[in-house]
Structure 1
Amino acid sequence: MKFSMTEHGFETTTQYGTLHISPKDEHGFRPYQLLVSSVAVCSGGVMRKVLQKMRMPADDIQIEVKEVHRNPDVADRVERIHLHFTVMGTEIDESKMPRIMELTSKNCSMVQSVKDAIDIRETYEVVR
């Protein structure tokens, strides 16, 4: 990836279009939003694969970022992220969800990359 400076931040062009990154919401994604999005979506993708391998395909997985705690005294460092997964599907065995959550966290490259620096809390609910 290559990033170029713009009037309000930076941008990069990908095969899906231009990604605008800025410290201001009105000019693009903020860097911390991309960090949180990477953790959330990586986790969701891994969860989807785990469910498929366990023969419990999800009809849908919704991920809500319930909390992002940033420390204003340390460069607004992201210290805590709470992700809540709503897993929808008639084949989902709720008794297996603790193991699914464990495997999701263990196999998500983004979670593994930041786990020693950011407290990541993951909760879930199953909707049939």
Structure 2
Amino acid sequence: MEFKMKEVGFTSEFEFGELHVAGDEQYGYRPFQLMVSAIVVCSGGVLRKILEKKRIHIEDITIKSEVERNESEANRIEKISIHYVITGKDLNEGKISQAIELANKNCPMTQSVKGSIEIEETFELVQTNG
């Protein structure tokens, strides 16, 4: 990866497109937003694959996240709360809970910050008839 300085922040070119990163949201994504997004979306993606492998059919996953930062230590990220809202038919709470634990152990982004950022995962199930 290569990042080029611009007037405010940096930019990089990827297969999908150009990424703008800056400390000011008017000029790009803030670094903490990218870090949290990487952890949350990686966790969700691994969870989705695990559910597919276990033949647990889901209709949708929405992920809500909250971030706790420590202003006295360079505004570092201390905790990320991840809340999955999983929609489907005949979902089993125990099986979903086990899948989330397994996803946490197999998500490269979560494992990369293990010991330095607390990751809290919760979930709720939305049962459908279809």
Which string of whole-angstrom CA distances, capped at 9 and with x for unpartnered residues, describes residues 17-57 of structure 1? 11000000111100000000000000000000110111112
Which string of whole-angstrom CA distances, capped at 9 and with x for unpartnered residues, describes residues 78-105 of structure 1? 0011010011111532221221111010
Aligned residues with identical type, % of pairs = 46
Runs of at least 5 residues in structure 2 that lack an aligned partner in the other structure: none
Per the TM alignment, residue 58 of structure 1 is displaced from its structure 2 partner at its CA by 1.8
Distance in 2 (alpha carbons) for counterparts of 1:127 and 1:115: 30
Distance in 2 (alpha carbons) for counterparts of 1:91 and 1:15: 39
Once superposed, which parts of structure 1, at least 4 consecutive aligned residues long, lie more than 4 Å away?
none
The answer to whether the 8 A contact 1:24-1:30 is kept is yes
Residue of structure 1 in register with 2:39 after alignment: 39
Residue of structure 2 in register with 1:86 after alignment: 85
Indicate the SS of the match to 1:39: helix
Distance in 1 (alpha carbons) for counterparts of 2:57 and 2:48: 7
**What is the letter of the counterpart of residue 48 of structure 2?**
R
Residue of structure 2 in register with 1:27 after alignment: 27
The answer to whether the 8 A contact 1:23-1:30 is kept is yes
Compute the TM-score of the two structures, normalised by the length of structure 2. 0.94
**What is the letter of the counterpart of residue 126 of structure 2?**
V
Which one is further off, 51-60 or 23-32? 51-60
The answer to whether the 8 A contact 1:44-1:63 is kept is yes
Say whether 1:104 aligns with 2:103: yes
Distance in 2 (alpha carbons) for counterparts of 1:22 and 1:42: 22
Distance in 2 (alpha carbons) for counterparts of 1:17 and 1:53: 31
Distance in 2 (alpha carbons) for counterparts of 1:43 and 1:57: 18
Calculate the aligned-residue CA RMSD, in Å.
Answer: 0.9
Which string of whole-angstrom CA distances, capped at 9 and with x for unpartnered residues, describes residues 63-82 of structure 1? 111x2111111111100110
The answer to whether the 8 A contact 1:46-1:107 is kept is yes
Runs of at least 5 residues in structure 1 that lack an aligned partner in the other structure: none
